[in-house]
Amino acid sequence: MKFYLLLLMIFGVTIFTSAFAKTHYPPLFPYPTQVEWQQGQFKLDSQTKIYLSSNIGKHAAQELSSFLQPPTGYLFEQTQSLAQNQVRFQYVQGMENEAYRLHVGENKIVIESSSEEGMFYGVQTLRQLMPKDIESRMPINKVYWSIPQVNISDQPKFTYRGMHLDVSRHFYPVSFVKQYIDWLAFHKFNKFQWHLTDDQGWRIEIKAFPKLTSIGGKRAHTVVGHTYDYKTLFDGKVHKGFYTQEQIRDVIEYANARHIEVLPEIDVPGHSSAILAAYPELSCHKQSVHVEGQFGIFPQVLCPTAETFSFLDKVFAEVSALFPSKLLHIGGDEVIKEQWLESPFVQQLMVKENLTSGDDVQSYFIQQVAKLLNKYDKTLVGWDEILASGAPSDAMITSWQGIEGGINASKRGHKAIMTPYEFTYFDAYQSRSVEEPKAIHGFLPIDKVYGYQVVPDDLTTEQQQLIIGVQGALWTEYIKTARHAEYMVFPRLSALANVAWGNNDNWSRFQQNLPNIIRRYQAMNINASYSFLTPNIRIEEATPTRMLLNITSGLSQSKLNVLAYDAMSDTEQIKSLNIDNNGNVALNEMKTIKVQAQYQDMLSLPLTLTVTPHKAIGKNIIFTNQPSGDSKVKINDGVFAYDQYYDVNQFAVFYGEDMEAIIDFEHNESVSQIIMGVNAGRHRQLVPPDSIAVYYSNDGQQWQQVKYINGVEVEQPVIRLNFDTISARYVKVIAKNKKQSFDKQIPLLPLYIDEIAVF
């Protein structure tokens, strides 16, 4: 990294934009409903007192006093009489439950609300109005602290504003969970979904079934790299941990004090490997299984027997006693029905209950679970898969596969929480830089989070009212540490907070405030990502003789440092570039472009892209077996995918099939080399071809072989195929799929081809 920075200083071509004007007022997130900035400041000092008009606001006042005392050293005496230099908590009647008004004047600060929640949210906004140094937990020597004068009137649009945390895949201690709750409270979230069980570990003490934690709470090892890598490796380290019931109560009490409702998630009937490792008799096959060390979807499923429902009844009895929330999430997602359909018991059950499919069996299972929860006055919440054959009438739906689940739920009369993965899953990559830390897959930049509109337009007014809110998710398959978790959550949580509060209508203001939001996070000792700065490289034109690229920054006020290297060169010789004022770059040979953006002391991760003009660009390609989706255009677009994050959409993918591609040059061309992209960058190891053969023809009928390699084991993401120069109208490339699966989860091996560059 230091080497690249030195090169940027010596050789980089720098594009400057207009200076970024300092934001006069501090950023507020989520942005309040109404804000009227005033001239002047309130000076908070050692003589500032706190006034309470009633007991409503008592806890919020204590929260403010406790928060301010470490950095200021002030004691903040409470007084019963009105005077100057006060922070007043004023109870008023008639306001909505979570609404508040905040007035910062020259001589007083007034927080008004009808509820403790509103008072608490007023405190969070006041905290953001103060200098970022107020976040220090150590004393800072100041005579006073300045707060800009302002009038704010605020209330949320949605009653459900949630965030999720997966502690099954990687276990996090209570201290981190509490810190996570602090972050949610600061951003005015009011729901926390605690994903406590999955295939990789059971994380909650159940006294009736101690083996759930003694056996189901630990796994022998964890996959190294990605779970779907070509050659799976494991770390050989036991991963374990669970929360005692005493710890659960402690976390709930902590959350309640911050007006956050904790929803437990106990995932059934799928994602149950940890349960069945402890109690295999609850499966249909009764065979021993293990707690999974890989990630993905597994066939282990609870059998819909009386024994299983008796087990779940006792589990839910203990869980219900621990969690005051009326909502209990039971998962219900990604259930593989194979073991059910192979079971004689389930076959008999299907006849008895008039069930005709695996989806029907799942619906039956969920209905039985709902009856159990009703005993404990709980409402069942499930992922949108539970809609397949009919969910319980009072069930709430979390719509994760897209917005369609929420639409279908509301049309059927269910309340829905929108959590579509493409907008709210923070385990996705934040930029296209290959230097992003490992993520599961997908691309979710902060502007996409901010731009999410929660309520679909194509619903009636009554149906829209059933969309009660939005929830983000942090799945932790590849997030092993707290600092990595922080990086994935921040600053995207600030964008989601605006969405959840209902005020995500001014991206320009939010984007300009992002550097200052980051600085506050840093003052809170949060490892926030700079990925919002990462540049963009867009292909404007691709021909056999020229590639035209446009390079822009993720933040217009930053400067860009641009380098070009000889692609795939061992010496990385740097070449000068002609970059116009619009950020356009023209290339007539293969190059690797590396770009970094800088704003003040913030430096983005480098964005790297290898591009090349070549003779197959724009030419017709005929496939014997069609690749999946629309990916076949990627095979001759002049762009290699290996030096950005793994994106399956950048590859032509052949599932269980060979690739046979015929390129028609329309006239004879001299050809002596083909460079094929066959692998991803640093985060994924794709399945290489078993063999590759190259043929040529002048009539498309008679073919001559010019190159053949067998037993391909790819160390590099590309394969270079050199041969004596030929003159040909047609070139055919055959890449053989290995076909035999290395994983039962993948019945057909995928063959990935990124580019067929012809020279």
Residue 311 sits at φ, ψ, to 5 deg, of: -60, -50
Please choose, from the candidates 248, 313, 240, 304, the residue with its C-alpha nearest in 3D space to the C-alpha of residue 277.
240
Q: Is 695 helix (H, G, I), strand (E, B) or coil?
A: strand
Chain-centroid distance, C-alpha 462: 31
The beta-strand segments (E) located in 645-703 are 652-655, 659-677, 691-697
Q: Is 338 helix (H, G, I), strand (E, B) or coil?
A: helix
What is the C-alpha to C-alpha distance for residues 755 and 107, in angstroms, rounded to an integer? 67
What is the C-alpha to C-alpha distance for residues 735 and 329, in angstroms, rounded to an integer? 46
Distances, alpha carbon 357 to alpha carbons 346, 349, 609, 721, in Å? 11, 11, 48, 50
- C-beta neighbour count of 628 within 10 angstroms: 14
What is the C-alpha to C-alpha distance for residues 735 and 689, in angstroms, rounded to an integer? 6
Q: Are 675 and 613 in contact (CB under 8 A)?
A: no
Please choose, from the candidates 98, 248, 252, 251, the residue with its C-alpha nearest in 3D space to the C-alpha of residue 160.
98
Tokens of 425: 């899953």
Q: Tell how strand 49-52 and strand 86-91 pair up.
A: parallel
Please choose, from the candidates 213, 241, 228, 219, the residue with its C-alpha nearest in 3D space to the C-alpha of residue 295.
228
Length of the chain: 759
What's the number of CA atoms in the CB half-sphere (13 Å) around residue 103?
A: 11
334 is catalytic: yes
What is the C-alpha to C-alpha distance for residues 298 and 272, in angstroms, rounded to an integer? 9
* Amino acid, single-letter form, for residue 555: L
What region, left, alpha or beta, does residue 434 occupy, with left being phi > 0 and alpha being psi -120 to 50 degrees? alpha
What is the C-alpha to C-alpha distance for residues 639 and 636, in angstroms, rounded to an integer? 8
Q: Tell how strand 379-383 and strand 659-677 pair up.
A: unpaired
Rg of the chain's alpha carbons, rounded to an integer?
29
Q: Are 323 and 263 in contact (CB under 8 A)?
A: yes
Tokens of 726: 């030929």
Q: Which of 334, 422, 572, 660 is catalytic?
A: 334
Residues 6+ apart with CB under 8 A from 168: 195, 196, 197, 198, 199, 200, 201, 202, 203, 274, 476
Q: At what angle do helices 174-186 and 245-256 cross, to 10 degrees?
A: 20
Residue 58 sits at φ, ψ, to 5 deg, of: -60, -50
What is the C-alpha to C-alpha distance for residues 70 and 75, in angstroms, rounded to an integer? 10
Residues 6+ apart with CB under 8 A from 430: 436, 444, 445, 446, 488, 492, 529, 531, 532, 534
User: Dmax of the chain from CA atoms?
Assistant: 99
Q: Are 610 and 592 in contact (CB under 8 A)?
A: yes
Query: Helices (DSSP H) in 582-644: which residue ranges?
Result: none
Query: Helices (DSSP H) in 376-428: which residue ranges?
Result: 404-411, 421-424
What is the C-alpha to C-alpha distance for residues 474 and 479, in angstroms, rounded to an integer? 9
> C-alpha angle with apex 176: 172 to 179, nearest 5 degrees?
155
What is the C-alpha to C-alpha distance for residues 634 and 655, in angstroms, rounded to an integer? 17
Tokens of 537: 């490289």
Please choose, from the candidates 364, 362, 353, 466, the residue with its C-alpha nearest in 3D space to the C-alpha of residue 416.
466
Residues acting as catalytic residues: 334
